[in-house]
């Protein structure tokens, strides 16, 4: 039970935060323009990099050694599937709309995040 709390509760809480923020009609936060036209995608990439890293940590520390081999891929897939469901959810939120480019940014962020974490922490 301690492992579940240590590794999976952060995943659940962070996913809940993503759902909460995407349920707002307007997040109410203006970001400094770093790359005009792509700021939203950068935010998505970072947001889903963190989600994928949390999933990777949880899978790596709560599954068997055999499953550890697949944990990077499973983490990225989980983040992308969650991103897809989040975009579907946004279709029902006033003033929000789903965007396939957001899912692409989510996938890129998840892949880079897990790759970096695996290389930096577990190498």
What does the pLDDT read at residue 9?
97
> Over the range 62-71, which residues count as b (16 or more CB within 10 Å of their CB) and which as e?
eeeeeeeeeb
CA distances from 20 to 52, 83, 94 (A): 18, 13, 14
What does the pLDDT read at residue 36?
59
Q: What is the pTM of this model?
A: 0.88
Nearest CA to 53 out of 42, 45, 64 is that of 45
Task: Mark out the alpha helices in the chain (DSSP H runs).
Answer: 2-3, 9-22, 39-62, 65-68, 71-90, 100-121
Longest dimension (CA), the chain: 46
What digits encode the pLDDT tens for the residues 28-72?
A: 555 555 555 557 899 999 999 999 999 999 999 998 888 888 999
Structure tokens at 55: 């999933």
- Quote the CA–CA distance of 75 and 13 in Å, as a whole number: 16
Q: Tell me the average pLDDT across 116-121.
A: 88
What does the pLDDT read at residue 123?
60
Domain ranges (residues) in the chain:
2-121
């Amino acid at each position: 039970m301690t492992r579940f709390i240590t590794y999976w509760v952060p995943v659940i809480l962070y996913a809940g935060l993503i759902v909460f923020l995407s349920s707002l009609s307007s997040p109410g936060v203006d970001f400094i323009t770093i790359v005009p036209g792509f700021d939203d995608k950068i935010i998505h990439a970072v947001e889903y990099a963190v989600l994928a890293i949390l999933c990777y940590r949880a899978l790596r520390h709560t599954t068997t050694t055999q499953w550890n081999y697949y944990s990077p891929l499973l983490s990225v897939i989980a983040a992308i599937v969650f991103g897809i469901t989040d975009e579907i959810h946004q279709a029902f939120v006033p003033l929000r709309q789903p965007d396939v480019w957001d899912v692409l940014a989510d996938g890129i962020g998840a892949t880079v995040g897990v790759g970096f974490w695996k290389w930096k922490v577990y190498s």
